[in-house]
Amino acid sequence: MAGVYTLVSAPVEYGTDSSGFWVEYPSGLVDLSRSQHTSEGAAPGNPADEPILKVGQADISVDKGRSIRIDTKASAMVIIDMQNFFLHPELRRHPTGLACVDSILSVLPIIRSSGIKVLWVNWGLTEHELQTIPPSLCRSFRKNGHSGGFGSQLPGKFGRLLMRDEVNSELYGQLQSEYFKGKAAGTDFWINKNRMSGLWGYQTALDLYLKENGISTLLFGGVNADQCVLGTVVDAYSRGYDCILVQDATATTSPDGGLSNFIHNTTNSYGYVTDTTRLQEMKRSNPADIQTCRN
């Protein structure tokens, strides 16, 4: 998005909890790493008191002329609903969603090598959950040509609608094999959800995983931008997670304005917006440089 925000004239710290503070610097850097307060770790001779980039941290350019600093071990890329049901051409037409596949594939190597976890957050219902879904949600999924709703049989090979382990619930195309590749390497994890948002209620599978693994910073992608991705971002924002939207890894079937409004509100309220190109260009500290400074 065009334009920049007014920069602060001196370092500003936000938040009072020792585990939940940010620091913003005159350079435009916003440090989300929770690693040091405004008076700690300044680089020698740096008038802005900006701390040195540490091993295990990364700086990412975001919209509005800013950059953010993250703790990669406390970060995860949350990829939502890139499933056959939402993307496969035999089930629906979603050209912008299909375009996200290559964007996601392009950024997975740098995400994994940086130590950022990859969380594939998908619809995946159990028989018990079919009995607990509210009527408003049931009705939504009985429209648009899928009259049987959740658990109903889809045409051909696709199985029951959004039930766990069915073909329509698998990731689309090469994404499924990429998940298995990451699972074997210990970088990727599959998390089922049973509502539009992956963080809608008390102790959802996603929230439990994030808390148990000390993850506070989330990079979001997937479909649909203004539905399941938006719902999860808003709930994450309300729960105190850092939210970064990866624009070209996110799409929707909604009319013009659906995605752009989401991007606008993320930039101005929920967090920050970047893209896969800037993620691939993220700045990481070289351990050799740190050792040189210490010597």
- Asked if the structure places residue 7 within a domain, the reply is no
Domain range for 59 is: 12-72+283-294
Same domain, 146 and 259: yes
Tens digit of each residue's pLDDT (9 = 90 or more) over 123-169: 999 999 999 999 999 998 887 665 689 999 999 999 999 999 999 99
CATH number for 114: 3.40.50.850
Same domain, 66 and 148: no
Same domain, 79 and 164: yes
What is the pLDDT, as a whole number, of residue 289? Answer: 47
Amino acid present at 288: A
Tens digit of each residue's pLDDT (9 = 90 or more) over 160-217: 999 999 999 999 999 999 999 999 999 999 999 999 999 998 899 999 999 999 999 9
Cα 36 from Cα 57, distance rounded (Å): 12
- Asked if the structure places residue 2 within a domain, the reply is no
- Asked if the structure places residue 3 within a domain, the reply is no
> Binning pLDDT at 50, 70 and 90, where does residue 43 land?
low
**Residues facing residue 29 across a β-bridge:** 67
pLDDT, averaged across the chain: 92
Same domain, 60 and 172: no
What is the pLDDT, as a whole number, of residue 38? Answer: 84
Task: Give the contacts of 284 (CB within 8 A, at least 6 positions apart).
Answer: 53, 57, 58, 59, 72, 114
Tens digit of each residue's pLDDT (9 = 90 or more) over 258-288: 999 999 999 999 999 999 999 999 999 876 5
- Asked if the structure places residue 127 within a domain, the reply is yes
Same domain, 44 and 155: no
- Asked if the structure places residue 160 within a domain, the reply is yes
Same domain, 59 and 159: no
Split into its structural domains, the chain has a count of 2
Same domain, 138 and 261: yes
| Pick from 252, 277, 261: nearest CA to 80 | 252
Write out the two tokens for 74: 């406390």
- Asked if the structure places residue 5 within a domain, the reply is no
Same domain, 137 and 240: yes
Same domain, 237 and 109: yes
Cα 49 from Cα 5, distance rounded (Å): 20
Same domain, 32 and 130: no
- Asked if the structure places residue 191 within a domain, the reply is yes
Same domain, 55 and 110: no
Q: What is the mean pLDDT of residues 42-68?
A: 84
- Asked if the structure places residue 6 within a domain, the reply is no
Task: Give the contacts of 146 (CB within 8 A, at least 6 positions apart).
Answer: 152, 154, 161
Same domain, 195 and 68: no
